[in-house]
Amino acid sequence: MLLHIIARGKIGRSPEGDLVDRYAKRLTWPVKITEWPDTGAGKVAEPITPHRTVLLDERGKAMSSESFAVLLGRWRDDGVRETRFMIGAADGHSDAERAAADLLFAFGPATWPHMIARAMLMEQLYRATTILAGHPYHRA
């Protein structure tokens, strides 16, 4: 299953960008990162079906790493070919985007800068895939 991170803003060369790159290189699942401008419309070219859309949103569901891994594993096993993780800009996501998402996912109730949220997401994706593979990275 393709893990597709779609984020507003350019991460560029930064400590957060280094973390994103580090975890992207470790992932054994295919990963793609698409950056959109901070404002304006963004569009995913040639949608892959079936796919799931996850919006990172402070009002979303906080999940344990194990629960997140189980969800990704279930989607993969159900034949989902792509999961899109959407990280918004400063204004977050619209009500329409929230309503259309398969999951609103939160790293707790706090608001996180989108560059840090991107690095946190990449680490959680790496952790989830290692949990599914039975790798000892995650120590429950």
Q: Is 17 annotated as a binding residue?
A: no
The identity of residue 11, as a single letter, is: I
The verdict on whether residue 42 carries a ligand-binding annotation is no
Per the annotation, binding residues are: 56, 88
Residues annotated within the binding site for S-adenosyl-L-methionine are 56, 88
